[in-house]
Amino acid sequence: MTTLIVTNRDGETREIEPIIGRTLMEVLRDNDYDELQAICGGNCSCATCHVYVSGAGAGTLPPISEDEDELLGSSSHRTDESRLSCQVKVTPDLNGMHVRIAPED
């Protein structure tokens, strides 16, 4: 069983069981994290699905693509933990990863 620890913008944290193979954006929306706008629907053409990833599993993520890096560069809330959730495929390796939804730009 794979679990993710998710913190919303209000600071509330809970564990969710994601569907393997879906994007992190889809998993968050499926679990009622409505503050994650994801306006482009997962096409890597906006930054409204910005999250911070840390802890177990975060080190197994593939490197940020050039497009993702460029979009995150437009955020005033970017950190070393920033990722676009539409670009993160959920795998069993992410078990225990902490995901925090970034503030809205």
Show Cβ contacts of residue 35 under 8 Å, excluding neighbours closer than 6 positions. Answer: 8, 9, 101, 104
Instruction: Quote the domain boundaries for residue 66.
Output: 4-101
Helices (H) and strands (E) in the chain, counts: 2, 5
Task: Look up the CATH number of the domain holding residue 34.
Answer: 3.10.20.30
pLDDT in tens, 7-62: 999 999 999 999 999 999 999 999 999 999 999 999 999 999 999 999 999 999 99
Dist. CA 69–CA 60, nearest whole Å: 18
Split into its structural domains, the chain has a count of: 1
Instruction: Classify residue 92 by its DSSP letter.
Output: G
Residue at 42: amino acid letter: G
